Amino acid sequence: MNPHPFFLSIESFLAYIGSEKGLSLNTVHAYRHDLVLLCRYLTEAHIVDLGSVNKEDIFSFLGSLKKHRYETSSISRILTTTKVFFRFLLREGMISHDPTLYLDSPKLWQLLPEVLSCAKVDGLLAMPDTTVDIGARDKAILEVLYASGLKVSEVCALDLHDLDDEMVRVTGKGGKQRVVPIAASAVKWVDHYLLHHRKGQEKEEALFLSMKGKRVDRIAIWNRLKQYAKQAGIQKNISPHTLRHSFATHLLENGADLRVIQEMLGHASIATTDRYTHIQQRYLQEAFEKFHPHS
């Protein structure tokens, strides 16, 4: 059976929202369902190239949903999925224009992220077996994720010369670079990996390698993290982004200035970083309701 012509694009998108955005498995499955509806419609309309989809095609798709008696709320959700999908394709260079650009939809990515307690993070970081190559690599990666607040894609992009004893140089969106401090514990585990477990790959510039000697990718890190979370008994649905959120939240809880956190995370706007204030307030409210005698 031949794969659907849009299959690879959909799978790349689903991997992105799972690993980079940290959305739950249920949400990923919902996005998959919506995109199957979209691609089935496009295929029936004899549209085989996502780059040729225009605004009228999207309107026709939504009209077909209404004709099949989908609820307004369901159509709105499917439109949201479609907009996020085409935005991703444009950013990845897979299409040259976004046919959904001027279509109204609810605000996107507004879910508050999951955050692990310091104890849970410690438990997670203790899971890799650092006596074997893959465990030593994974330990170093998890330590860097939590110690620097980097995105998983930024960790994958690190080269050997990007890290020193105190700082890590990060290349973000559009090739923009920033330098952020990194904890000594993370540097220690990176050194352990480089000295004892990264062998025979002198010509490869990437800091973290797959078992085949190539640059590690975000899906591999995501899968390994899921395995370690299960071993650590963590019930939450977490992703590499969870460590980034935990990093920022723990800094805020310990008195770090919001502007400093903004700089370290590479946020262009302080409004993006400000959501960590809301996360902290949520946990304070939960603690109050749980422990205050009159709550």
- The whole-number mean pLDDT for each consecutive block of 10 residues of the chain, a chain of 295 residues, reads 65 83 79 91 86 85 82 80 90 88 51 73 95 96 90 90 88 77 90 87 84 89 93 86 83 71 64 54 48 43
Task: Give the SS3 label for residue 159.
Answer: strand
- Res 273: pLDDT: 52
Give CATH 1.10.443.10 domain extents, the chain. 118-289
What angle is formed at CA 120 by the lines to CA 144 and CA 14, rounded to 5 degrees?
65
- What CATH class does 118-289 carry? mainly alpha
DSSP designation for 45: T
Confidence (pLDDT) at 105:
46
Q: Is the pTM of this model over 0.85?
A: no
Q: What is the pLDDT of residue 133?
A: 94
The correct CATH number of 7-91 out of 3.40.47.10, 3.90.930.12, 1.10.150.130, 3.40.228.10 is 1.10.150.130
Predicted confidence at residue 1, as pLDDT, reads: 36
Q: How far is 289 from 283, CA to CA, in rounded Å?
A: 10
pLDDT of residue 107: 39
What's the confidence (pLDDT) of residue 258? 64
The size of the chain, in residues, is 295
- Token pair of 279 as six digits: 């996360």
In the chain, CATH 1.10.150.130 sits at: 7-91
- According to DSSP H, which parts of 149-239 are helical? 152-156, 184-196, 218-231
| Neighbour count for residue 90 (Cβ, 10 Å) | 17
In sequence order, the 6+-apart residues with CB closer than 8 A to the CB of 30 are: 77, 81
